[in-house]
Copies of this chain bind each other. A is one copy, B any other.
Amino acid sequence: MPPLRVTVWHEYRHELKHEDVRKIYPEGMHVVIAAAIKEHLGDDVIIRTATLDQPHHGITAEILEETDVMTWWGHMAHAEVAEIVADMVHRRVLEGMGILFLHSAHYSKPFRKLMGTGCGLKWRDAGELERIYIVDPSHPISDGLPAHFDIPHEEMYGEFFDIPTPDELVMISWFEGGNVFRSCCTWKRGKGKVAYFRPGHEVFPSYYHPEVRRVIANAVRWAAPVTNFAFALGAPNETRSLSPINTTYVINEELHKPTK
């Protein structure tokens, strides 16, 4: 298989404005997220990054065309993402591109367009302990993880998380201060796969955390598009056809000799 083409999109504002964030992510959070993916997927991926303040937010039709899976982190500037770019990303997911939304991207334009809900949640910025439990142990995103793992200091996100029922609920977070959260969820939209993963408040080094990095890499691989699948988007008129489309299939004798 050819390498998976990944675009790590990042708002990249907090690092430039806040010294404490810059200390943690001196080159920007996107660089660390890209490295996490590379660490686990190696030559199976080709990664590019894109940021809000690049022309077209670093997202053109060509780049989308060449992207199999995108990751998205945004927070303070969701409103500055141009409607047309958000629509392009939305459409590209329907066409098959996978996408992983991280942390505060729950309020990003592409996520809200894909979900159809308000996407609100409760929050508390108290640097408390987050413990993440796997509740879908056979899911590819759980691959290689322990039954639960801890992040010593994180922002709290709590239920009710105003999302559609996830197709798959992979992880649930426990927070020291008395809250729970559906921390890793997946959905399908059109021909594309969508995942959400909670950790990543900018003032904590969560994207250096080994299990968090593993989840991100696993989610990117999971979100890879299915190849060759062809169906028409839109509403095509269809003529009636009751003749089988595959009337004959050749039996290849060579293939069916006993293997054992």
* Chain A residues close to B by CB (< 8 Å): 27, 31-32, 34-35, 38-39, 47-49, 90, 94, 96, 107, 113-118, 120-124, 126, 128-129, 131, 133-140, 142-152, 156, 158-162, 164-165, 167-169, 172-180, 182, 187-193, 205, 208-211, 225-242, 244-247, 249-252, 255-260
Contacts and interface: CB of A to CB of B under 8 A. Distances in A.
A94 B117 contact: yes
A245 to B, nearest CB: 5
B138 A49 contact: no
B247 A107 contact: no
Contact of A151 (B142, B150, B158, B244): B244
B256 A32 contact: yes
Nearest to A36: B255
A160 to B, nearest CB: 5
Copies in the complex: 4
B257 A31 contact: yes
Given A172-B172, A235-B123, A238-B158, A137 B229 contact: yes
Contacts of A49: 258-260
A164 B189 contact: yes
A31 B124 CA distance: 42
A176 to B, nearest CB: 7
A205 to B, nearest CB: 7
Contacts of A209: 246, 249
6 contacts: A131-B180, A156-B238, A160-B231, A174-B179, A209-B246, A211-B246
A247 B208 CA distance: 12
A257 to B, nearest CB: 7
A150 B149 CA distance: 25
B27 A256 contact: yes
B34 A188 contact: no
